[in-house]
Structure 1
Amino acid sequence: MSDDTPSPLLEVALPALLRHARHTYGAAMRTALAARGYDDIPGNGLYVIGALALGEAPLSQIVRELRVSKQAAGQLVDALVLRGYLDRQIDAQDRRRLTVTLTERGQAAADTQKAAREAIDAELLVRMGDARVLHAREVLAELIEIGRGEVED
């Protein structure tokens, strides 16, 4: 906020704030993707594409983090393959496994998604400053740890 008046949002329950904050990012990403012709990414597809672009987690872990059924996850991957965002190949080392990677279209969508996220991050830094954004990140990271059951007694 630009003045010293406290936001009425400070009285909203934290889970609701998190949901609305997530929407800010999601809406910015969806708008940017639609402007570039990537308006056919299904729900949860942004998460899969973004996570695969980071290249740090296998698809099985990404799907687990979505907390959806195996059937729903399979349908999501199928849709992303059919729409040209993912490529699915038999693993050369283990023919029982499939390897899923981003296609050129998928990487372009990931880059668009990242740019939209970075624009929101930049605006947040201007409004709040480095220290306050870092503190918010620390709080959110701790909430994640609580959810993982890794809280120290």
Structure 2
Amino acid sequence: MEQFQIREMRETDIAQVEAIEQEIFSVPWSEKSFLSACTTPENIYLVCLAGEEVAGYCGLWSVLGEGNITNMAVAEKYRRNGVAEALMKEMEERGRQKDVTIFFLEVRESNDAARRLYEKMGYEQIGVRKNFYEKPAENAIIMSKGWRTA
């Protein structure tokens, strides 16, 4: 298995991140959106590197103890190598350091692989957003994970 490194997203990563975003999502974020998101102090944006190449990335917006996972993507050639799970674990850990006590995310109803990963990591389905996604129109499954702080 390749060696991966996870670190905070930098401005120099954004071109690669946006290329993955374009490849995967039908309504992708722009470079400007990523730059704004990853330079906001409350947010957590991480990349997983395989050498100098961005293998995957994720993002979280934290507000008053809640973390909303906005982005999670792995380049196709790096899938099924534990990249998404490693990114999620690191993001949750950094979220806890920012006093996040509950995480939320939306996932396409048809994205079985992602849903299985989130369930494995302790996320539970709490609702559905009808026609949340475009191109093609599809429902989003809302999932959350929380824990008590001692």
TM > 0.5? no
Which of the pair has more CA radius of gyration? 1
**Scaled by the length of structure 1, what TM-score is found?**
0.28
- TM normalised by structure 2 equals 0.28
Higher helix content, 1 or 2: 1
Which structure: greater strand fraction? Answer: 2
